[in-house]
Amino acid sequence: MEWKQFTGTTLAWLDADTTVDKADASTIRKMIDKGSGNESRQVRISSTIREIARDYANAPYGQRGYALPAEGQAVMASVTEAINAMAEAFDNGGDALKALLLPNQRSKVKHYANGASWAVSALKNVNSTAVNLSKSGTWDGTHESLAATLPTGGEQ
């Protein structure tokens, strides 16, 4: 991924994702500024940014170096925004929601601690699905081809 696309993807992710630690976001933005001012450092800086982003399940390039097409990244930014809003609803939904919305049965955790922990889990699943659909050629990154993966009629 060339520098301009990499930085655009990174900045869109930082703007859309409220789960990124403020210190990490600030560091990444400063690194982008440095790389934009010094072309010879861009490869090393992008590697460092990717390393910082590995801590976040919804980083746009965290799946073994695979990056979704630009349209797919825009779709994922909107999905991330929706999941973050749902995380707030989780926190405000009372004990019934927290008691009923459970992690995967294989998880060591029996209940999500808060909306942020639910969001991390949901985003990990969403990102994995998006990458798999993209790699298989089922999804070209557009809303239309993603909607085409949904079952029709009474199918589930």
pLDDT, tens digit (0-9, with 9 covering 90-100), for 111-155: 888 887 888 788 888 888 988 898 888 998 899 999 999 988 655
Is this structure's pTM higher than 0.75? no
pLDDT score at 149: 92
pLDDT score at 58: 77
Q: Pinpoint the alpha helices (H) of 17-114.
A: 22-37, 42-53, 70-92, 94-100
Q: How many CB atoms lie within 10 A of CB 59?
A: 21
Instruction: Match 């990102």 to its residue by tokens.
Output: 127
Instruction: Match 């985003």 to its residue by tokens.
Output: 123
CA distance 102 to 32: 38
- What number is the average pLDDT over the span 23-37? 93
CA distance 30 to 147: 37
CA nearest to 118, candidates 107, 129, 133 = 107
- What number is the average pLDDT over the span 70-98? 85
By three-state DSSP, how is residue 142 classified? Answer: coil
CA distance 94 to 57: 26
